[in-house]
Structure 1
Amino acid sequence: MLAEEIEKLAAETGFSGVVSVDRAGRIEFAKAYGYAHRGHQIPNTVDTRFAIASGTKGFTALTVVSLIVDGVLELATTARSVLGEDLPLIDDAVTVEHLLGHRSGIGDYYQEDPDDDIAAYLLPAAPEKLADTEQYLPVLDGYPQRFAPGTDFAYCNGGYVVLALIAERVSGTPFHTLVRERVCTPAGMTSTEFLRSDEPGPRTALGYVGNRTNIFHLPVRGNGDGGIHSTTADITAFWSALHKGAIVPADWAARMTRPRSDHDEALQYGLGFWLPPGKHTVMLEGYDAGVSFRSTHKPATGLTYTVISNDSEGAWPVTRRLAEILD
């Protein structure tokens, strides 16, 4: 039934991407659809790497927490103590914990609105100017504080770039390297990397907005708020490693996946992870021009289902149906 439902929906919607269902290490379904490169008619495969947009935030959060475990940072460390005179509009009371939980109240360079046309969004800088973390400073600056730190929840992309900046400065190691060394390597995620959009490399899907690629819509290289590339197999490996304590100690993983804020009636948030109330699941999700991704994991049973697409809306019909069947 599961395979039939996915095949039917993929055909009806013209789905492009990969669907994976894994139960405690046993693959129940894994299949690729559509093209990684439409011009050259290169098909997607189950090993194709896709951008996962804000799914990256979970990796950023774990990178920061790993530095806390090592004693380099604390949850109570203020952003100001690391930023110095940079980004002066960020409230001096904003802490690492506020940033991790989207409770910092800082102004955001990219405020998401579900009613907006994501393809119409223009970056505040040329894509090629956003390759490294420090290059984001001019982009992050100039946005007034929205509310006092800790008093409310507001999803904030800029806050996760600030976290990347903090991690980079206190460790002395480039953020992209930190994620690879502290998350991807211990999790066995051998295909996951911050790739440049102008150097996509092998086994990498181009993102599409209509008939065009998304190269002008996104930074040339992702950062703390999104943009890493991965495979469904790597994402499955990630969930297993997270709950086994391979990335950060298991007690920290539990703290990060405990609800701390309500986003709406359907979603709560921990530290880097979405938590649907009452379903005993943990989620990573990403949405951007030419990118849609959701991975849902049930720690109690080891069930993981992941939908990853190189189209802005492609993942949603499939992941909604999977939720109906598997939740």
Structure 2
Amino acid sequence: MTTTRRTILSLAGAAPLALAIGNPAGADPGYAKVPDGLKPGGELDKFVAELAVKDEFSGSLLLTHRGRRVLSRSYGMANKALGIPNGPDTIFALASVTKVLTALSVVQLVERGKLSLGAKLGPLLDGFAPEVGEAVTVHHLLTHTSGLGDFHMVPGFWETARTWSSAQQVMDGITQIIRGMPVTFPAGASHAYSNAGFHLLGAIVAKVSGLSYYDYVRRNVFRPAGMSSSDFYTKPQWLTDPRIAHPYTRPESGKQVDDIDSRYFIGTPAGEAFCTCADLDRFTQALLGGKLIDAPFLQLYASGKVPMPPPPGTPPLPGPPPVTLQCYGPIGTVASGQWTFGHGGGSPGISTNLEIFPDSRWTSVVLGNYDPPAALPIARMARQLITGQS
């Protein structure tokens, strides 16, 4: 059947209630508290359908309340060449949402007494200049206050990165590149988003745990959370596994193209784990349920540390502007009296967002395989409806 604007919008209406609701009204006492705008056929559902009609969103959305599915939608194609559509089981590259996994791994090691938040970088990883190794701490790396920037921007990085053919080459190669990067400000003096800092956190996880970074996350995050589809898939796997969505970017020519060929062998602690929407919800439930870290360390992980300005170019929402703070990995927000935390991600052909509402127990997951900011308007509307912003 050909998908038209009318058929897509009908899918956002009353017909698919059995597919979109894990527990129909009456079966779950919490369902009565779900805002109408978040239910199937509601404001958010129709908004996402409209974006899909305009080919502005391709991907999957999952909203859960207290671990129960409220709205699940998928649009667009995971693999256009093979005609594979996106679905609830499609695996997406996360981009920087990966940072919440890396940061959690660090906090786990702190909880287990194997690492200190005040530990200096130099004794953990050798080869750094004194102004970095003797000044930058694990705390600075977790809060983007290290003064280190983005290794992707180092001249020649991409040409070198495409020659790597193993996970160890990726980890060692990037660490060596970061050793030669200058700092843009003294540690702790300011806040600037740092992919370099989060890569180093992954290297620290490996050094302290005795496992590769990738194996540590598999054993200590994915496995105990029940994230059975999640992994750090390699570029060859991305090219051949029909479950994994391809990233479609639109260069200046205006025609969307598959961007896998531009990627390097495997993702890093700063970005490119792969998950389904359901797996990120499982991560949330395991995190809030004490399966990954105990309550005091969850508080440590997800509480604000450094004030942040709103992202440049972000259109304002109605009402008072949200207060945004850097946590230990996640980004925290106070919106309409509710504390939320999570992270967004973006790169060519990838736009993602995870937001957790610990008090009201909502989880919003948007995973897309179009250019940023495709996921952001959906995540922002979900937050607006969850928090009751008018």
With structure 2 as the length reference, what TM-score do the two structures score? 0.77
Q: What corresponds to 2:213 in structure 1?
A: 175
Structure-1 separation of matches of 2:307 and 2:259 = 32
Task: Note the residue ranges of structure 1 that are not aligned, 5 or more in a row.
Answer: 113-120
Name which of structure 1's ranges 173-182 and 123-132 shifts more when overlaid on structure 2. Answer: 123-132
Contact 1:91 1:106 in 2 (8 A): no
Structure-2 separation of matches of 1:283 and 1:111 = 25
Amino acid across the alignment from 1:140? I
Contact 1:109 1:139 in 2 (8 A): yes
Question: Which residue of 57, 67, 72 maps to 1:25?
Answer: 67
Amino acid across the alignment from 1:229? F
Which whole-Å deviations, capped at 9, do the CAs of 1:88-141 have from their partners, x for residues lacking one? Answer: 6624121111111111112432469xxxxxxxx972623342733122123323
**What SS does structure 1 have at the residue aligned with 2:353?**
strand
Matched, 1:276 2:314: no
Q: What corresponds to 2:289 in structure 1?
A: 244
Which whole-Å deviations, capped at 9, do the CAs of 1:16-42 have from their partners, x for residues lacking one? Answer: 100111111221110111111111111
Question: Which residue of 350, 373, 376 maps to 1:291?
Answer: 350
Name which of structure 1's ranges 283-292 and 214-223 shifts more when overlaid on structure 2. Answer: 214-223
Amino acid across the alignment from 1:126? A
Matched, 1:208 2:271: no
Q: Compare CA radii of gyration and give the structure with the larger one.
A: 2
Matched, 1:142 2:199: no
Question: Which residue of 73, 93, 101 maps to 1:59?
Answer: 101
Which whole-Å deviations, capped at 9, do the CAs of 1:276-303 have from their partners, x for residues lacking one? Answer: 2344111221111111100111111111
Contact 1:218 1:289 in 2 (8 A): no
> What is the deviation of 1:147?
1.5
Amino acid across the alignment from 2:249? V
Structure-1 separation of matches of 2:157 and 2:259 = 11
RMSD: 2.1
Q: What corresponds to 1:253 in structure 2?
A: 298
Amino acid across the alignment from 2:132? I
Contact 2:52 2:76 in 1 (8 A): no
- What percent of counterpart residues are identical? 30
**What SS does structure 1 have at the residue aligned with 2:299?**
helix
Structure-2 separation of matches of 1:106 and 1:124 = 21
Structure-2 separation of matches of 1:302 and 1:45 = 24
Amino acid across the alignment from 1:293? T
**What SS does structure 1 have at the residue aligned with 2:54?**
helix
* Distance change (3 Å), C-alpha of 1:260 and 1:124: farther
Q: What corresponds to 2:385 in structure 1?
A: 325
Contact 1:87 1:140 in 2 (8 A): no
Name which of structure 1's ranges 213-222 and 143-152 shifts more when overlaid on structure 2. Answer: 213-222
Between the two proteins, the alignment pairs up a number of residues equal to 319
* Larger relative contact order, structure 1 or 2 (CA cutoff 8 Å, min sep 6): 1
**What SS does structure 2 have at the residue aligned with 1:21?**
strand
Q: What corresponds to 1:129 in structure 2?
A: 164
**What SS does structure 2 have at the residue aligned with 1:177?**
helix
Listed as ranges, the matches of 1:29-108 within 5 Å are 29-86=71-128, 90-108=132-150
Q: What corresponds to 2:5 in structure 1?
A: none
Which whole-Å deviations, capped at 9, do the CAs of 1:136-177 have from their partners, x for residues lacking one? Answer: 123323211222212221110000111111111122210000
Task: Note the residue ranges of structure 2 that are not aligned, 5 or more in a row.
Answer: 1-41, 251-255, 311-321
Question: Which residue of 229, 247, 251 maps to 1:191?
Answer: 229
Name which of structure 1's ranges 122-131 and 199-208 shifts more when overlaid on structure 2. Answer: 122-131
With structure 1 as the length reference, what TM-score do the two structures score? 0.91
Which whole-Å deviations, capped at 9, do the CAs of 1:66-94 have from their partners, x for residues lacking one? Answer: 11222221111111001122566624121
* Distance change (3 Å), C-alpha of 1:164 and 1:124: farther
